[in-house]
Amino acid sequence: MCGLLARFSRKQNYSFPLAKLAGLIEHRGPDASGAVGWNDSSDIRDLAGLESTDMDHVLCHKRLSIIDLHDASDQPFQSEDGRFHLVYNGEIYNYVELRDALQGKGVQFRTSGDTEVLLNCWREWGPACLARLEGMFAFVIYDREKDCIFAARDPFGIKPLLVYRSDDEIIFSSELAPIVEWIKPDRFDPLSAAYSLRWGMNDGDRKTIIPGVERLPPGSFVSLELETLSLSETESYFDLDRIEKRDWQYGEAVEALRTCFLESVERHMRSDAPIGFALSGGIDSSAIVCAAHYLGHRDIKTFSYLPQDERISEKRWIDIVARHVGAETHFIRPATGAVLENLEHVVRHQGEPFASLSIYAQYEVYGEVARQGVKVLLSGQGADELLAGYISYYQLAMANALKRGDVSIFMRYVRHFSARFGISNGAILRNLARSLLPYGIRQSMGKRQFSQMAPWIEADAMQAFGMDAWADLALHDPTSSSITALLVQSIRRSLVALLRYDDRNSMAHSVESRVPFLTPQMAELCLSFPDEFLIDEAGVTKKVFRDAMRGIVPDDVLARADKIGFAPDNRAWAPALRTLPLGSGDTRLEGLIMGEPLESALDHAESKEGTQLAFLWRSINLLALRQNMIGATL
């Protein structure tokens, strides 16, 4: 996992501060650095070590060495004949199998890593190679013969690729910071800011908070003709909607999922650097740790966040798994003083809004991973979106049972829902009734509730900027009652944000995060299952996966009915909101956020809980980002 920066320009003889801009992503790849550049009429030149360059076109790379630690795999990576030049962020987990296939075609290799495999896959198969890759990646390739650029991103958006486009310049970057430093924006995109205030993120959209900067969508690619600086339309190579349901026998599905998951974990452990495991105590992270042990991996180091509040601690479950595999455990309990000191660093490294302070807890976990000398961490991210682990999926299952008139199944769902999420039966029924209202009514209710919970935010101004999503979107589509359709929606809308948080937090500490649940093979399998394999008639969630893990994961963990996850110590951490630099003067709060009501809310931050504290955090987060991004204003 690394960082890339690529710039293609028609600004003749215009100095580009290469060292300064690339330095802003140094944390993504501290092990090696490289850069090349060229003009239309010049050869490609080595720019390593230069402070600036007047070359029109530049490829820059910061390397975190994970597979093939030798400098022969440093980037930019050049093909033997000099035609292709590659900068690449990520890992190709099936590189061993791809290498074998290419060698069968007569391709020779001079390194043992996945970078050269990726370049030769492109050379052999072109864009069709993307369907063969199992991994997380974002890359840019220059084809010198055709004088064109090709850029692609992995199917789920695990690795970031941002694109800035102007009339005479196009920049690709792993993070916003180099682009912001170069173009010096004077404002945020108001609609993106509005969505961030309501939902804490806007990653499901191509636009970022910086005007002119977009995300290359997951599972897509673009090409760029350098002669005209013409960027093609985005093309998709992986489409979740094309995955079809299959007529599964349950036992067959259990075995297929078990085999696919174990193969994925095994490939995700391919590394020449030390690896560790995130362990929350939930089924997903426990399954990865136990699968590694089942596959023969014995030197298991686990890393677990523990809140100060014992009521929301999962240590009991973590201990069960750790004993089962003989793990060396590491527990992270962030002190309030550390939050006060480090929250600004988290905001700066994230570079875009994030929904809650739970992201700070994740940041601290990666800090401990790095301090222990571990460079690769496997986590359970993505399992909830493939196997229906969130509340919204359960609500839909209950609504479907009610619509069918299956009262007994509906009541079992209610009881299991209450046990799993710690919500009273009355609250469950009220929320369900609200979710079944016409979407227009839910929109009006959502806006009114938002205005009451966050009176310092101008809801009417948000709406004037185009904000049109006030209610939870999970159940509003009257044409679909499919849990699978909701899973696809979640992967596209919210998972991309969680992956972005994970990428920035891990890279802030020069650690590679890997997510074994998120492979095309796992997605094609899980999304082909009937809904009742995911949530059965007894109300058991992730039913098919629990059964697939029998004999691998301890039965006590597989029988868990509750769900906690990263639960931050909100009351203890709330004072940290005061430590963030927000700027000065009333003008810093113009447009969407009102100064005096916000100051009043901050004075009572410790007394706020749940949704209201989340809205307060999102406002402070946005203002702190603006202050950090060279005076951008709303």
Q: Which domain holds residue 373?
A: 242-387+489-558
Residues 508 and 552 in one domain: yes
Among the residue ranges 117-121, 289-293, 475-479, the one predicted with the least confidence is 475-479
User: Do 308 and 356 contact (CB within 8 A), yes or no?
Assistant: no
Predicted confidence at residue 630, as pLDDT, reads 59
Predicted confidence at residue 579, as pLDDT, reads 82
Is pLDDT larger for residue 92 or for residue 633?
Answer: 92
Helix (H) or strand (E) holding 603: helix 595-603
Quickly count: other Cβ atoms within 10 Å of residue 389's Cβ: 24
DSSP track, 333-400:
---HHHHHHHHHHHHHHH-S--SSTHHHHHHHHHHHHHHTT--EEE--TTHHHHHT-SHHHHHHHHHH
Residues 261 and 208 in one domain: no
C-alpha distances (whole Å) from 576 to each of 66, 216, 283, 406, 456 are 35, 34, 32, 49, 19
pLDDT, one tens digit per residue, over 22-75 is 999 999 999 999 999 999 878 899 999 999 999 999 999 999 999 999 989 999
pLDDT, one tens digit per residue, over 485-507 is 899 999 998 999 999 999 999 99
Helix (H) or strand (E) holding 609: none
State the average pLDDT over residues 342-371: 93
Predicted confidence at residue 566, as pLDDT, reads 66
Residue type, 45: R
Q: Within a domain: residue 591?
A: yes
In 204-216, which positions are buried (b, 16+ CB within 10 angstroms) versus exposed (e)? bbeebbbbebbbb
pLDDT band at 603 (very low <50, low <70, confident <90, very high): confident
User: Do 521 and 259 contact (CB within 8 A), yes or no?
Assistant: no
Residues 221 and 88 in one domain: yes
Question: Which pair of tokens denotes residue 360?
Answer: 């700070």
pLDDT, one tens digit per residue, over 247-276 is 999 999 999 999 999 999 999 999 999 999
Question: Which residue, 236, 270, 293, sits at the end of a domain?
Answer: 236
Among the residue ranges 54-68, 163-177, 188-202, 553-567, the one predicted with the least confidence is 553-567
Global pTM reads 0.94
Residues 550 and 590 in one domain: no
Q: Within a domain: residue 319?
A: yes
Residues 231 and 254 in one domain: no
Question: Whole-angstrom Cα distance, residue 610 to residue 92?
Answer: 39
Residues 362 and 255 in one domain: yes
pLDDT, one tens digit per residue, over 398-437 is 888 888 888 888 888 888 888 777 788 888 888 888 877 8
DSSP label at residue 30: B
Q: Within a domain: residue 414?
A: no
Whether the CA torsion 355, 361, 367, 370 is positive or negative: it is negative
Residues 70 and 200 in one domain: yes
Q: Within a domain: residue 432?
A: no
For residue 189, the domain's CATH number is 3.60.20.10
Number of structural domains (the chain) is: 3
Residues 597 and 553 in one domain: no
User: Do 218 and 157 contact (CB within 8 A), yes or no?
Assistant: yes
Residues 226 and 252 in one domain: no
pLDDT, one tens digit per residue, over 542-579 is 999 999 999 999 999 999 877 776 677 777 788 888 88
Q: Within a domain: residue 430?
A: no
Question: Which residue, 221, 236, 251, sits at the end of a domain?
Answer: 236
Residues 196 and 94 in one domain: yes
Percent residues over pLDDT 90 in the chain: 65
296 labeled part of a ligand binding site: no
481 labeled part of a ligand binding site: no
Q: Which residues pair with 409 in a beta bridge?
A: none
The mean pLDDT value of the chain amounts to: 90
Q: Within a domain: residue 57?
A: yes
Is pLDDT larger for residue 612 or for residue 258?
Answer: 258
User: Do 22 and 56 contact (CB within 8 A), yes or no?
Assistant: no
Residues 284 and 223 in one domain: no
Q: Is 631 helix (H, G, I), strand (E, B) or coil?
A: coil
Catalytic sites, residue numbers: 2
pLDDT, one tens digit per residue, over 305-326 is 998 878 888 999 999 999 999 9
Question: Which residue, 236, 269, 303, sits at the end of a domain?
Answer: 236
Q: Is 492 helix (H, G, I), strand (E, B) or coil?
A: helix
Q: Within a domain: residue 424?
A: no
379 labeled part of a ligand binding site: yes
DSSP track, 522-569:
HHHHHTTS-HHHHB-TT--BTHHHHHHTBTTB-HHHHT------S---
For residue 249, the domain's CATH number is 3.40.50.620
Residues 227 and 92 in one domain: yes
Q: Within a domain: residue 27?
A: yes
